[in-house]
Amino acid sequence: MTEVEAAQLKEEGNRHFQLQDYKAAMKSYSQALKLTKDKALLATLYRNRAACGLKMESYAQAASDASRAIDIDSRDIKALYRRCQALEHLGKLDQAFKDVQRCATLEPWNHSFQEMLRRLNTSIQEKLRVQFSTDSRVQKMFEILLDENSEADKREKAANNLIVLGREEAGAERIFQNNGVALLLQLLDTKRPELVLAAIRTLSGMCSGHRARATAILHAVRIDRICSLMAVEDKEMSLAVCNLLQTIIDSLSGEDKREHRGKEEALVLDTKKDLKQITSHLLDMLVSKKVSGQGRDQALNLLNKNVPRKDLAIHDNSRTIYVVDNGLRKILKVVGQVPDLPSCLPLTENTRMLASILISKLYDDLRCDPERDHFRKICEEYITGKFDPQDMDKNVNAIQTVSGILQGPFDLGNQLLGMKGVMEVMVALCGSEREADQLVAVEALIHASTKLSRATFIITNGVSLLKEIYKTTKNEKIKIRTLVGLCKLGSAGGTDYGLRQFAEGSTEKLAKQCRKWLCNTTIDTRTRRWAVEGLAYLTLDADVKDDFVQDIPALQAMFELAKTSDKTILYSVATTLVNCTNSYDVKELIPELVQLAKFSKQHVPEEHPKDKKDFVDIRVKRLLKTGVVSALACMVKADSAVLTDQTKELLARVFLALCDNPKDRGTIVAQGGGKALIPLALEGTDVGKVKAAHALAKIAAVSNPDIAFPGERVYEVVRPLVSLLDTQRDGLQNYEALLGLTNLSGRSDKLRQKIFKEKALPDIENYMFENHDQLRQAATECMCNMVVNKEVQERFLADGNDRLKLVVLLCGEDDDKLQSAAAGALAMLTAAHKKLCLKMTQVTPQWLEILQRLCLHDQLSVQHRGLVIAYNLLVADAELAKKLVESELLEILTVVGKQEPDEKKAAVVQTARECLIKCMDYGFIKPVS
């Protein structure tokens, strides 16, 4: 009875559907579903109710009913199509596509299904394009970041994605075009550190290499806001904002080396006004009490990097003149800060040193005496304006300023020392009861005694004063500084053993005390730094340096200090290591002049017995064992103006001394020395770059480049090595650079291409002509690897050059290694190009004789290369092959080919037989039956 009712209700529902009363129809179908268990009827009822749902726009209900019908009958084509329609409206296009695909499979002739397939495919492609387009991604990321309720990990991921997107040109442009700067400003307003950091880093990426965008962003964010963000105590935040400002400056000044795309240059007016505004705000930051020590350091770093000219050949130094006129007094104020006084600005350990370096760079960037006089007058007026008999704090600031200038441009500092009242105030401060006054005065005395002439004056006037303070003071900070002053004066004679300022044994006692303080971890880092400063002078004495390298705890304590955030110690540590490794420049003494000097009773510098090579080698071994390379690598990473070009040069000298013994180079590589040397070889003083490049050459010559310089870093090594091929470099540098390039060129064609692009080939060819046997051999071995490169081969193919002739003649030399390298190069060239095989026979009449000598060579490796060349010539041309067969070469090939091939001779005999087979192929010879 119920099944009949169900069937009746279905018919009733169908009538309602035809009359477009979809609500009544749905009600009838629903009632029928409750009464029947017949599967066919159930499927029909669900399918019909799905049709009602579609008409009533209840798409979720329609999809659900259609799915139930399909569960009963998977081939129910109407249910599949209706579910497809419902899913399309619900936006589930991929699922709808699968349903209509199934329909089209069941009824391929149905036009409705085919049309639906085409429409859905287009919709899906469009949705995917929109979904994955940059616009959508950017919008989604901002939604997540600005939604306070979004999960932390989602927000972090969105922030990182935004930063990555900002670094891509397309992504940066989309963010910029889609109101992204305003949204990034909203992130800055949140005051949440992780979101502010993400916004700053994204802005940094957007400014990189695009002057118009950088200008727009600078004006939108405003320089005062950027500086206020950089002024915070948070080191990571301050550094990120510093990087943003540097990127903006690079883009505005054109320092970013990137090619500007399209016509965007035309959109930007003169950038000088913006650059001047940035400089002005950075100078204001220096004297603001609201700025943290970190912020002040970053402002000084930016000024150091961007104000002085990078190349003195550029005439325009207007930025320096602007800073001298508008900011020198502000820089002097920072230099003159005394941390122990209540009026002191917030500082870090590095702030005053960064300011001293800036003064030095500005002074060096001046072009003429009037400019230098103007600079000096500002300094003089500032210092004399501080002198006040009624206010001791001002006097202390004045002497601290002189002390800071002495750490910068020393000549200027010396002139200021000669000013009326400076030495008097310094002496008065030494006798003061306040410890802060004594500290400043002693430090000033130390910096004043850097040169021998000044030290002599101080010895006569200041040693007794320093000794008195050393004996009477109970303050460790003052004691250690006075000791350093005495150390400095004691080492005024430099490495000259015969020119000692103090009595025998005094320097060793001073050094022992310095090492004791260095190892005392209870003393603050800033004070222990002075112990290293003392050792930097005392280690000029060979007895002191020998004792120091045997004191493992003292060495390790110095290395640990070098790794701290206080980077003012870098120069002292580097100087100490240069002294210990004897890597400073030593003037060569000409015996005749020495005799003449003795005859005229002039002083002759003497070398200490412990400065001989054997002692130096032992010291180097001990330093390596104590972990000096990891300390050096850490020092090189210091991203600060405190890592001056002079300090880089000292580090390069130490590395070169450490690399001297080939057995030690593996240790240096293992501790990260190879990686650390690359920046030293690319930036710094000319001397420093050459020393670092030489150290790189020593490592590259004997190490596996994949281990020594992993990843893309290996390509950065090529340029320093090529720079050593200059004829102005000495023979050892040329030789080791060639060895390094040989090793690199044997690794991959990409490296060979890099060497070729660095224009090394002409230099390598020049050394192949060199009279020096080792240089000629090294150059030929390098060329042997380079000829695999197609562009190098094209140079040999070019008409009107003697390159191939040189290689052929080198094959005829008596030196086995030279012959082997030249024969290897010739074998590869003749294998690569038939034209070179023919050209070989024309370059010199001796070619056949040289080839025969190679094929008869005592060394199997050379003989094998000779036979390969013979085979290449035989294959290249029938006429040439005939000429070879008619010569004595056939007899040589026959003799070699008839030998019994043992393990060593297998390759040689096989190649000779291949040559004979080729001759048989031509029909020039016949096999013996």
Task: Please report, for residues 44, 768, 814, the alpha-carbon distance to residue 857 in angstroms, rounded to integers and kept in the order given.
Answer: 95, 22, 11
Residue that wins the pLDDT comparison between 891 and 144? 891
Does residue 224 form part of some domain? no
Tokens for 716? 């950065």
Task: Please report, for residues 386, 503, 829, 864, 891, the alpha-carbon distance to residue 887 in angstroms, rounded to integers and kept in the order given.
Answer: 97, 83, 23, 19, 8
Does residue 239 form part of some domain? no
Q: Measured at the alpha carbon of residue 479, what is the angle toward residues 482 and 550, in degrees to the nearest 5?
A: 85
Residue 266, pLDDT > 50, answer: no
Burial class (CB in 10 A: 0-12, 13-18, 19+), 911: buried
Mean pLDDT of 465-481: 77
Tens of pLDDT, residues 67-79: 999 998 888 888 9
pLDDT of residue 210: 87
pLDDT of residue 534: 85
Tell me the one-letter amino acid at 41: L
pLDDT of residue 559: 92
pLDDT of residue 33: 86
Residue 115, pLDDT > 70, answer: yes
Tens of pLDDT, residues 136-163: 667 777 778 777 777 777 777 887 888 8
Residue 215, pLDDT > 60, answer: yes
Confidence of residue 262 (pLDDT cuts 50, 70, 90): very low
Tens of pLDDT, residues 898-912: 888 788 888 999 999
Residue 925, pLDDT > 90, answer: no
Does residue 858 form part of some domain? yes
Residue 457, pLDDT > 70, answer: no
pLDDT of residue 696: 93
Mean pLDDT of 630-657: 89
Domain final residue pick, 132, 167, 183: 132
pLDDT of residue 452: 42
Confidence of residue 192 (pLDDT cuts 50, 70, 90): confident
Task: Name the nearest CA neighbour of 908 among 894, 897, 923.
Answer: 897
pLDDT of residue 558: 93
Tens of pLDDT, residues 268-302: 457 889 999 999 999 999 999 999 999 999 999 99
pLDDT of residue 333: 94
Mean pLDDT of 426-435: 78
The CATH number that applies at residue 3 is 1.25.40.10
Residue 599, pLDDT > 80, answer: no
Does residue 90 form part of some domain? yes
pLDDT of residue 374: 94
Residue 722, pLDDT > 90, answer: yes
Task: Please report, for residues 384, 762, 827, the alpha-carbon distance to residue 376 in angstroms, rounded to integers and kept in the order given.
Answer: 12, 49, 68
The CATH number that applies at residue 498 is 1.25.10.10
For 20-28, the CB contacts below 8 A with 24+ separation are: 20/55, 22/52, 22/55, 22/56, 23/52, 23/56, 25/52, 26/52, 26/53, 26/56
Tens of pLDDT, residues 42-67: 889 999 999 999 998 899 999 999 99
Does residue 375 form part of some domain? no
Does residue 806 form part of some domain? yes
pLDDT of residue 593: 55
- Share the mean pLDDT of the chain: 85
Confidence of residue 623 (pLDDT cuts 50, 70, 90): very high
Tens of pLDDT, residues 508-545: 888 888 888 889 888 888 788 888 888 888 888 888 88
Confidence of residue 477 (pLDDT cuts 50, 70, 90): confident
Q: Which of 104-113, 122-131, 803-812, 911-920 has the lowest mean pLDDT?
A: 122-131
Residue 497, pLDDT > 50, answer: no
Confidence of residue 601 (pLDDT cuts 50, 70, 90): low
Report the distance separating Cα 854 and Cα 846, nearest Å.
12
Task: Name the nearest CA neighbour of 545 among 514, 501, 519, 576.
Answer: 576
Does residue 219 form part of some domain? no
Residue 391, SS3 per DSSP: coil
Confidence of residue 453 (pLDDT cuts 50, 70, 90): very low
Domain final residue pick, 610, 626, 642: 626
Residue 188, pLDDT > 90, answer: no
Q: Please give the model's pTM, rounded to 2 decimal places.
A: 0.74
- Give me the domain span that covers residue 31: 1-132
Read off the DSSP letter of residue 428.
H
Domain final residue pick, 132, 152, 187: 132
pLDDT of residue 260: 44
Residue that wins the pLDDT comparison between 799 and 488? 799
Report the distance separating Cα 416 and Cα 397, nearest Å.
14
Does residue 898 form part of some domain? yes
**Residue partners of 556: CB distance under 8 A and separation at least 6:** 626, 627
- What is the percent of the chain with per-residue pLDDT over 90, rounded to a whole number? 40
pLDDT of residue 451: 47
Residue that wins the pLDDT comparison between 435 and 379? 379
Residue 265, pLDDT > 50, answer: no
Confidence of residue 243 (pLDDT cuts 50, 70, 90): very high
Tens of pLDDT, residues 339-396: 888 889 999 988 999 999 999 999 999 989 999 999 999 999 999 888 887 888 888 8
Residue 633, pLDDT > 60, answer: yes
Residue 501, pLDDT > 80, answer: no
Domains of the chain: total: 3
pLDDT of residue 439: 83
The CATH number that applies at residue 862 is 1.25.40
